[in-house]
A and B are shown apart, each in its own frame.
Chain A
Amino acid sequence: MMDHCFVLAKDSFAEFFESLSKLGRVYAPVKVSDQSYSFRQVESHEQIAFEALRTILPPKKYFYPTQETILRYNDVQIEEHKPEIDFQILFGVHPCDLAGLGIMDTIFTAGPADSHYLNRRQSSLIVGLSCMPDKHCFCQSMGTDCPESGYDLFLTDIGDDYLLEVRTAAGVKAVDPIMPLLRAAGQDDESRYKAFWSNRAQAFTNGFKPDNLRSVMAMEWDNKIWDEMADRCLSCGNCTPVCPTCYCFDLVDIASLNGTSGERRREWDSCQFVGFAQVAADYNFRPGPVDRLKFWYRHKLHGFDDPFGFQTCVGCGRCTVSCPAGIDDIVSVVQALQATNQAKTKHDAN
């Protein structure tokens, strides 16, 4: 396994960072308040918060901004808006977010491809970083706890060094200038690497088993838990922008004052907003918070298994920590549904 693995001493990280910044702007988690982190542009490696777990917004914002111009028009023509795209480096992306990016890639690549997302995605380098979970992390349960794809380089913290995995051709190119700083990984490094990942695997404590999600959701679709939660839901839509796999948007026109020119823009939207599934004649397919909440849970837990064959929750815990009503606690909610479901099945069996 150690073919493309090198050892980078933590003491040499500053030079590694310098070399990355020569390729383009570097974005990394920085501490923005007592408890929160955010991906921001960093000029020096000292700004990077290596301890950060979940940033407020996931890194999707660098490929899919909260709003962007799609086209411009005037009374005679329509023109695609093609912004200059600078090369960007995202440093410190954890496994859950790498998996999240992979899901966004799938959606935006499916035909017809979304140029606005993909052009930025192709013009970037992703450097992953290992992490130790806190109580809200459940990537292990969702099967997204190890870096599998979506990165060019990945750093695992093995004590005084990082084990640097080079995954793609872009990654090879990026490390080329710092080759003198690196040494090939040896057996001792390999054992330190394995020790890290096995310690980390044991650090997940919630014991969440997302078994039979599809059938549990189906059988518990009318469970009263949903109504109890919906009574508290503010329909604020906080849970969607923070989710690394929420991709929904609206397309809107911004007309200039003279009315003959303007632009078409795309803006993040949320399935938790009341008008999201409304059609003409005031007909709403998801009129109540309960309809929208169930829709969201279903979508995250197994909504994409038909077209794409994957779940869209990667277990980052962002929704749980950012829901003001405390109802986006996926782990507890699913565990409660599983428990009632099991109780019922047992009861039926007796």
Chain B
Amino acid sequence: MMQISTPFMPEKGVIRSIVPMAQDNYLFEFKTDTDRLAACKPGQFVELWVPGVGECPISVCSGRVTESIQLLVRRVGRVTNALFQMSEGDWAGLRGPYGHGFPVERYKGQNLCMVAGGLGIAPIRSLWQYVLDHRQDFGKVILIYGMRHSDEMLFREELKLLLQRGDIHVFLAADDATVCELPPFAMQVGRVTDMIRQAAIDHDFQVAICGPPVMYKYVIEELKAKHVTDQNIWLSLERQMKCGIGKCGHCFIGGRFTCQAGPVFQLADLKFVPELIECDNGGAQ
């Protein structure tokens, strides 16, 4: 009988460069032999494997994926610790791309606001890079990035360049800030919600959000105050993900596998899902 092949086969990704970023975050660039990952869309993810240790889901961080892909990784536990011990020239495994990312085709011709909290900047970066590569296809573009402390800012240099461009409006906010070499208008003390209030967002904006689970509820409230509809709000959700392909059950919420139906969901599509603590819809059911 014809046997089919495993869906769990990673391909080898050789580490081309490692750039230390703020705090415990490194930006890894991997080079692969195939162009399997070139299909990566903003907001999708890959399963990153450190042989002998394990796998974890990591968002595609670059808007242009060719034979090389950038991943921003925070050192938090077993797999990420092991990855941080690796050097340029070593290889790790990569499987993907998986899931539904941000619906860039749908955003075309419209105004777009991107909201990132903390490490949520990783998938949001793939989106802004994509948008700026196809800038003429989009209307007004706003980026709001919040963090706890200004020294946690990731992609500082790239953000400086964005601040100089006239075609994207960037708001940066930290709960707590020390003296910062960014222009004072750009870096403010406050939360992403304060920035949303300041930004010229109205009902005809599409909004893409990624951040810690607790952030979403407040962001959604603020967007509603600006009359942004549930159809135009897109959330990237984190869940434990072992397989990435709708088999292992770890990412199940409501009736769906987050790894396949998400990780990016339209808010309108998330009504009545229990344990969805990211928005108030959780409550009763």
Residues of A with Cβ closer than 8 Å to B? 70-71, 73, 78, 80, 82, 85, 107-108, 110, 112-116, 118-119, 122-123, 217-219, 221-222, 247-253, 255, 259, 262, 264, 266, 269, 271, 276-281, 283, 285-286, 291, 294-295, 298-299, 302-307
Contacts and interface: CB of A to CB of B under 8 A. Distances in A.
A82 B255 contact: no
B5 A279 contact: no
Interface in B209-224: 212-213
Interface stretch (B64-72, B105-113, B169-177, B270-278): B270-278
A222 B146 CA distance: 35
A303 B257 CA distance: 11
A42 B93 CA distance: 42
Interface in B231-255: 238-240, 242-243, 245-250, 252-255
B242 A249 contact: yes
18 contacts: A71-B8, A71-B9, A115-B3, A119-B1, A221-B274, A222-B284, A248-B250, A249-B248, A251-B54, A251-B55, A255-B52, A255-B53, A259-B52, A264-B49, A269-B248, A276-B240, A295-B275, A306-B254
B248 A119 contact: no
A153 to B, nearest CB: 19
Contacts of B74: 280
Contacts of A112: 7, 245
A71 B47 CA distance: 15
B249 A253 contact: no
Contacts of B248: 248-251, 269
A255 B242 CA distance: 18
B10 interface: yes
A113 B7 contact: yes
Given A112-B245, A118-B4, A217 B285 contact: yes
Nearest to B53: A253
B52 A116 contact: no
Contacts of B250: 248, 250, 269, 276-277
Contacts, number: 125
Contact of B275 (A108, A259, A279, A285): A285
Q: Which 4 A-B pairs have the closest CB atoms?
A: A306-B255, A248-B249, A255-B52, A218-B285
Residue in A108, A253, A298, A302 whose Cβ sees the most chain B Cβ within 10 Å? A253
Is the contact region of chain B dominated by helix, strand, or loop, or is it mixed? loop
Contacts of B52: 253, 255, 259, 262
Contacts of B242: 249-251, 269
Nearest to B82: A253
A286 to B, nearest CB: 7
Contacts of A250: 242, 248, 250
Interface size on B, as a range, is: 35 or more
Contact of A271 (B10, B49, B54, B249): B249
B19 interface: no
A266 B8 CA distance: 10
A215 B10 CA distance: 42
Nearest to A270: B249
A152 to B, nearest CB: 14
Nearest to B241: A279
Contacts of B261: 307
A277 B242 CA distance: 11
Nearest to B8: A70
B255 A218 contact: no
A218 B284 contact: yes
A249 B247 contact: yes
Given A221-B285, A251-B54, A277-B240, 19 more contacts: A73-B51, A78-B12, A82-B3, A112-B7, A116-B6, A123-B1, A217-B285, A248-B249, A249-B249, A251-B242, A264-B49, A266-B8, A269-B242, A269-B250, A276-B240, A299-B252, A303-B252, A305-B255, A307-B257
